[in-house]
């Protein structure tokens, strides 16, 4: 049993991670400021003696004694992180500094939930970890993209300078139950619009591609990475290497929901990447990990969740 801190633990990914860690018998401290997280996501854990909840913003130091830290705190959808871009950058950078300082003090291993956004609008497809990216440093998405890139820099500098045990994981599009209905992400947007019988909004011509990983697969990869040898720091891509166009995704969701929503096309937002697909060769070789939930069954589970949530 380990004592484990999960920042952003009441969010979409964080709450599923807390479920997994408590289920594995660990003592879990969940920290969240509820900007995008919700107590509803972890309400079922509140009576468990192995789970503790603390309201806290990671831009301020935290003094606790833990063995492992999963640093997931940061809004991850464009509509949320662009709402307060300065605070988004602070969360990524100051949050990383504070959590790395904690890890250094207590000798904890720490995993950074980085993102495929560090690759920007990639000129290489699929994206391997060795690709340095194609990022606009002054655009409307830069608060998130560059904030996460700076966090990666801090993690590796703490590793080189202070021998902190780090893990840097680049998360590609993930979906599943507990996504927010208004988070602006394509899967939740399409499902909510379809269930409400509204037109499905597609930006651009709909031929841009994404790959989607079901949340259970993502959490499995995250836990395996944390438990991997100290020398394997990453960065490592975790996501689904099978990609799909936005039009194909919308048509699949219309079929699965049984609605008659029509497709409506709008202008592509600034700096929106045309393609996003991970090369997961490193995750396969070092972690023995690859996604196991196909898109169809994963979307079905997510649709059932939103039927209840709405």
Report how far residue 33's alpha carbon sits from residue 9's, in angstroms, rounded to the nearest whole number. Answer: 9
Report how far residue 130's alpha carbon sits from residue 235's, in angstroms, rounded to the nearest whole number. Answer: 9
Catalytic, 81? Answer no
Find the catalytic residue in 70, 81, 119, 144.
144
Rounded to a whole number, what is the distance in angstroms from the first to the last CA of the chain?
A: 38
Q: What's the chain's length in residues? A: 310
Query: Sign of dihedral through CA atoms 171, 85, 201, 11?
Result: positive
Give phi and psi for 236, each to the nearest 5: -135, 135
The closest alpha carbon to 173, from 55, 291, 93, belongs to 291
Report how far residue 280's alpha carbon sits from residue 142's, in angstroms, rounded to the nearest whole number. Answer: 25
The closest alpha carbon to 171, from 239, 93, 78, belongs to 239
The closest alpha carbon to 188, from 44, 49, 303, belongs to 303
- Is residue 232 a contact partner of residue 286, using CB atoms and an 8 Å limit? yes
* Residues involved in catalysis: 144
């Amino acid at each position: 049993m380990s004592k484990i801190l999960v920042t952003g633990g009441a969010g979409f990914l964080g709450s599923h991670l807390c479920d997994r860690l408590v289920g594995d018998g660990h003592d879990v401290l969940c920290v969240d400021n509820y900007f995008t997280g919700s107590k509803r996501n972890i309400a079922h854990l509140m009576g468990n003696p192995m789970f503790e909840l603390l309201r806290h913003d990671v831009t301020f130091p935290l003094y606790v004694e833990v063995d492992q830290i999963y640093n997931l705190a940061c809004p991850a959808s464009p509509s949320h992180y662009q709402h307060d871009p300065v605070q988004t950058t602070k969360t990524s950078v100051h949050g990383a500094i504070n959590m790395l300082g904690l890890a250094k003090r207590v000798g904890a291993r720490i995993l950074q939930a980085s993102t495929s956004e560090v690759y920007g609008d990639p000129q290489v497809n699929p994206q391997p970890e060795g690709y340095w990216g194609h990022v606009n440093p002054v655009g409307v998405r830069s608060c998130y993209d560059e904030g996460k890139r700076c966090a990666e820099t801090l993690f590796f500098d703490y590793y080189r300078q202070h021998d902190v045990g780090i893990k840097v994981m680049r998360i590609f599009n993930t979906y599943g139950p507990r996504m927010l209905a208004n988070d602006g992400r394509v899967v939740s947007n399409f499902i909510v619009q379809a269930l409400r019988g509204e037109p499905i909004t597609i930006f651009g011509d709909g031929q841009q591609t994404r790959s989607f990983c079901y949340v259970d697969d993502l959490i499995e990869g995250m836990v395996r990475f944390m438990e991997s040898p100290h020398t394997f720091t990453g960065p490592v891509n975790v996501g689904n290497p099978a990609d799909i166009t936005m039009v194909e995704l919308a048509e699949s969701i219309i079929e699965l929901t049984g609605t008659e929503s029509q497709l409506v096309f709008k202008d592509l937002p600034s700096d929106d990447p045309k393609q996003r697909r991970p090369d997961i060769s490193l995750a396969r070789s070092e972690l023995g990990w690859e996604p196991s939930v196909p898109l169809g069954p994963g979307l079905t589970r997510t649709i059932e969740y939103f039927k209840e949530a709405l």
